Structure 1
Amino acid sequence: MSNLPPIQVIGGGLAGTEAAWQIAQAGVPVILYEMRPRRLSPAHHSEYLAELVCSNSFGAQSSDRAAGLLHEELRRLGSIIIGKADTHQVPAGGALAVDRALFSQDLTETLAHHPLIDLRREEICRIPTDGIVVLTTGPLTSPALAEDLRRFTGLEYMSFFDAASPIVMGESINFEVAFRASRYDRGEAAYLNCPLDKDQYLHFWQQLCTAEQAELKDFEQETARFFEGCLPIEEMARRGKDTMRYGPLKPVGIFDPRSGDFRAPENRSKRPYAVVQLRQEDRAGQLWNMVGFQTNLRWGEQKRVFRLIPGLESAEFVRMGVMHRNTFINAPELLSPTLQFKTRPTLLAAGQLVGTEGYTAAAAGGWLAGTNAARLALGRSPITLPPATMMGALFDFISSASPKHFQPMPPNFGILPELPQRIRSKQERYGAYRDRALMELLHWLSRVQAA
């Protein structure tokens, strides 16, 4: 066992789980604090570490997509989050999706049995003043700790509203209407598709626009912004009659294989006006997530309106959609690219708390914060990743963006340095970004390991 004092990680979400694992794997003891189940959050449902709340998908799996590139970088860096996601993967077309219950349970058991990890189920109300500390409390930081963080930084939290989609029992779906298909018949037909004709769509849209919303909880009463990448479906509907048809209900390339060859001219009239897609939630295919249907409607209204969708007339909902407030700090003012606080380098932060968006980005932040916390404990200098990698670009962005207009940032190719030569083809350009990032990561790893 190490004689080093333990590093304290506060928060057992994706970032905290990754951070604690990287610290322990470096040979440094760590205390991981998680307040659940002693104190519940408005969005979580279990006491497991790294519980996935909004979706079971980590995003696009292909490494020539931004999320997929981040997956691959983390695989090469020994991420436990991505490792377990690969282990518990379920079919989801081109996405990396997991059986969320098995995923979180496996992570919890793995960390609990690590000899250098002390998992403590208690709420931390103040930032510890001694030693190395990693804050990974996420968007639902407890009020007491959030207030202490506000006092420490001298800045108010920023916030937006996030929401989760309903989950439907597979046996309650009408498979005489719903059909399996992939867009443009590409790859595995991993999604269920519920087609709507024009009259059905307009009726659904009208009912959705007028459906009654749930009241916000006390802690969500103040004005906040929606995150544009996760709009409630009813908010999207209110923005225009066709907004959903250009978003999650986009029918382009979706065709019922029972109708014959979608390329045949005589079948063009059979193409749906809009399509609701459902993504497999568990390995057995018993649970299906309504893609893009994050919502804040009252539960009774959700059942009434969503059962207007053909194929979901008798849908049994095992989880209703919910909406909650996400909070984050003004990272450009407070953090360096190493995820250390500028005014206290022994205090680090990661996850949605620092303004990264998405599960994989949270794991990436946990990897960097945990790695740097361990390096500090071992008397080594903290590291940053090459800016041409997705991880390096993401943490460079959140630490250098304009503080006045800072908003949560998901992984995307727009934050990477430009390529030496312009490539017109988007597919080839993204492939070039990927090749450069992985080569840079390989060279960087060899230098770090040799140091």
Structure 2
Amino acid sequence: MKSITIIGGGLAGCEAAWQAAQLGLHVKLYEMRPQKKTGAHQSGDLAELVCSNSLGSNLPDRASGLLKNELRQMGSMLLNCAEENAVPAGGALAVDREGFAQAVTEKINAHPNIELIRKEITDIPTEPTIIASGPLTSEKLSNAISAITGENSLYFFDAIAPIVHYESINMNIAFRASRYDRGEESQGDYINCPFTKDEYDFFLEALLNAERIKLLSFELEIKEGVKAGAHHYFEGCLPAEIIAERGPKSLAFGPLRPVGLTDPRTGRRPYAVLQLRQDNLAGDLYNLVGFQTNLKFPDQRRVFRMIPGLENVEFARYGQMHRNTFIASPQLLRPTLQFCHRDDLFFAGQITGVEGYIGNVATGLLAGQNISRLLSAIPPLHLPQTTMLGALCHYITHAAAKDFQPMKANFGILPPLEQGSKKRNKRERAGAYADRALGDLKKYLDEK
């Protein structure tokens, strides 16, 4: 039996390990936790979700929903685990964090072709390898990657939202509702904390004046070409206090937007709304949707208790910020996720510049299948650019290197629709993109 090494037991690494093992390879899966901690993970379980518990939209005419449907066609194990541990989240797929991670860990441990090794890897193996070490790649491994790529690592700062105890939420003020209450199944999936304009202005002032956690010295390390003191944030996961600095209404038009919601106490739309989403199957933990932060813990407690309905809220986990690492994929990777200078070395997950949980799972799946095809002397899959996964792989390997930033699944990276199939309505266009993608994927996989 042929053997491969996979570095990293996160979403991408576990999916890659499962795919390769299912295709008959012996997989040595290395995960440094819990022996070596990352500063953001809480447990030693594989595939632990560090930030949100949401895997994005499940609707077929949304980019994230399309990517999930592609993964269903390609046989994703992690997506199946996510669906088995789903919690109410309207049209999104959100999971019980602990249940999901435990399910993935059990699957990996039980597979006869997977050998899970709890050890830090500090050098790049010479045997066929997938590097899926994630955004929190250790310093020694980062140095080894820099040595083989000849490039300094890139990075950006990412933040985590707080989690609170349900029983401490004041439901006399907060109310249950999903935006526009689309579909009976999604009604009441979110808890909403409504602001008046005066409450919003008071909260905004406190947020802007609160103390922030100073980044650790290793996180402030300056790479070549990066100005001293410059902080690079991922736009899709900005701390609330950074959004607030962009203007007095930036939060009200961003994570606190009230559209599609009506306060039952007034019968009117609030000025702003903070939403909370269920974080576990028991329903006793909720996370602050889109409200990542890097405030000091005492200030998080003080400022977030100014949110209507959270006056006496108790925190199960405070928000925090950490540095995420990704490589210069446009210069280093092929769309098959192979390293340009070594056929049997693959990269997968967030380290490639693909952003979002499902994007990480998807690149892990592709890397796992492609390394198996390579060792069987079969050409690796080079997915059509009309598919969401194919478009993501094309983006990270063809973007302008000087402007390269992590990318989530979105319809903007897909080729335009054919002239005769253009739709005026945005939802119709999204549906047409999705139909084309799934049709092209099926045809391509059938041929391969």
TM-score norm. by structure 2 comes to: 0.96
SS of the residue aligned with 1:213?
coil
1:81 corresponds to which letter in structure 2? L
Q: 1:72 aligns with which of 69, 73, 81?
A: 69
Distance 2:270 2:330 in 1: 46
Q: Judge conservation of contact 1:339–1:350 (CA < 8 Å) in 2.
A: yes
1:217 corresponds to which letter in structure 2? L
Equivalent position of 2:227 in the other structure: none
Equivalent position of 1:340 in the other structure: 338
Spell out, residue by residue over 1:288-323, the C-alpha distance to the aligned partner (whole angstroms, 9 max, x if none).
010111000000000000000010001010000010
Q: How far apart are residue 224 of structure 1 and its match?
A: 3.2
Equivalent position of 2:355 in the other structure: 357
Q: 1:34 aligns with which of 31, 35, 47?
A: 31
Equivalent position of 2:256 in the other structure: 249
Q: Judge conservation of contact 1:7–1:28 (CA < 8 Å) in 2.
A: yes
Distance 1:295 1:84 in 2: 29
Does residue 299 of structure 2 align to residue 301 of structure 1? yes
Distance 2:313 2:181 in 1: 26
Distance 1:377 1:314 in 2: 58
Q: Judge conservation of contact 1:43–1:324 (CA < 8 Å) in 2.
A: yes
Equivalent position of 1:310 in the other structure: 308
1:427 corresponds to which letter in structure 2? R
Does residue 235 of structure 2 align to residue 239 of structure 1? no
Distance 1:411 1:183 in 2: 22
Distance 2:425 2:359 in 1: 26
Q: How far apart are residue 405 of structure 1 and its match?
A: 1.1
The 5 Å alignment of 1:23-422 reads 23-129=20-126, 131-187=127-183, 188=186, 189-222=188-221, 223-257=230-264, 259=266, 267=267, 270-421=268-419, 422=422
Q: Judge conservation of contact 1:388–1:417 (CA < 8 Å) in 2.
A: yes
Spell out, residue by residue over 1:265-284, the C-alpha distance to the aligned partner (whole angstroms, 9 max, x if none).
xx4xx321111100111112
1:394 corresponds to which letter in structure 2? L
Equivalent position of 1:434 in the other structure: 434
Spell out, residue by residue over 1:69-118, the C-alpha distance to the aligned partner (whole angstroms, 9 max, x if none).
00110011110111111111100011100001000001001111100000
Q: Judge conservation of contact 1:232–1:295 (CA < 8 Å) in 2.
A: yes
Q: How far apart are residue 183 of structure 1 and its match?
A: 1.4
1:115 corresponds to which letter in structure 2? P
1:48 corresponds to which letter in structure 2? D
Q: Judge conservation of contact 1:181–1:256 (CA < 8 Å) in 2.
A: no
1:106 corresponds to which letter in structure 2? A
Q: Judge conservation of contact 1:393–1:415 (CA < 8 Å) in 2.
A: yes
Distance 2:80 2:51 in 1: 20
Q: How far apart are residue 239 of structure 1 and its match?
A: 1.2
Residue ranges of structure 2 left out of the alignment (5+ in a row): 222-229
Distance 2:282 2:125 in 1: 43
Q: Judge conservation of contact 1:28–1:377 (CA < 8 Å) in 2.
A: no
SS of the residue aligned with 2:135?
helix
SS of the residue aligned with 1:245?
coil
Identical-pair percentage: 55
Residue ranges of structure 1 left out of the alignment (5+ in a row): 260-266
Distance 2:4 2:269 in 1: 57
Distance 2:179 2:338 in 1: 43
Distance 1:380 1:73 in 2: 22
Does residue 8 of structure 2 align to residue 11 of structure 1? yes
Q: Judge conservation of contact 1:159–1:224 (CA < 8 Å) in 2.
A: no
Distance 1:45 1:134 in 2: 24
| RMSD between superposed Cα atoms in Å | 1.0
Distance 1:184 1:56 in 2: 22
SS of the residue aligned with 2:29?
strand
Q: How far apart are residue 343 of structure 1 and its match?
A: 0.4
Distance 1:225 1:324 in 2: 11
SS of the residue aligned with 2:435?
helix
- State the aligned residue count: 435
Spell out, residue by residue over 1:106-143, the C-alpha distance to the aligned partner (whole angstroms, 9 max, x if none).
100111110000000000001012x2000000111000
Distance 1:79 1:190 in 2: 26
Q: How far apart are residue 382 of structure 1 and its match?
A: 1.0
Q: How far apart are residue 149 of structure 1 and its match?
A: 0.6
Q: How far apart are residue 20 of structure 1 and its match?
A: 0.2
1:98 corresponds to which letter in structure 2? V
Distance 1:220 1:298 in 2: 17
Q: How far apart are residue 258 of structure 1 and its match?
A: 5.3
Q: Judge conservation of contact 1:89–1:98 (CA < 8 Å) in 2.
A: yes
Of stretches 156-165 and 439-448 in structure 1, the one that deviates more from structure 2 is 439-448
Distance 2:83 2:165 in 1: 24
Q: How far apart are residue 379 of structure 1 and its match?
A: 2.1
SS of the residue aligned with 1:152?
helix
2:241 corresponds to which letter in structure 1? E
Q: Judge conservation of contact 1:181–1:257 (CA < 8 Å) in 2.
A: no
Spell out, residue by residue over 1:229-267, the C-alpha distance to the aligned partner (whole angstroms, 9 max, x if none).
1110011111111000000101122112455xxxxxxx4
Q: How far apart are residue 376 of structure 1 and its match?
A: 1.5
Distance 1:141 1:271 in 2: 44
Distance 1:404 1:217 in 2: 26
SS of the residue aligned with 1:220?
coil
Spell out, residue by residue over 1:5-35, the C-alpha distance to the aligned partner (whole angstroms, 9 max, x if none).
x100000000000000000000111000000
2:90 corresponds to which letter in structure 1? G
SS of the residue aligned with 2:198?
helix
2:424 corresponds to which letter in structure 1? R
Spell out, residue by residue over 1:36-81, the C-alpha distance to the aligned partner (whole angstroms, 9 max, x if none).
0110001111101110011100001101100010011001111011
Distance 2:438 2:114 in 1: 31
2:245 corresponds to which letter in structure 1? R
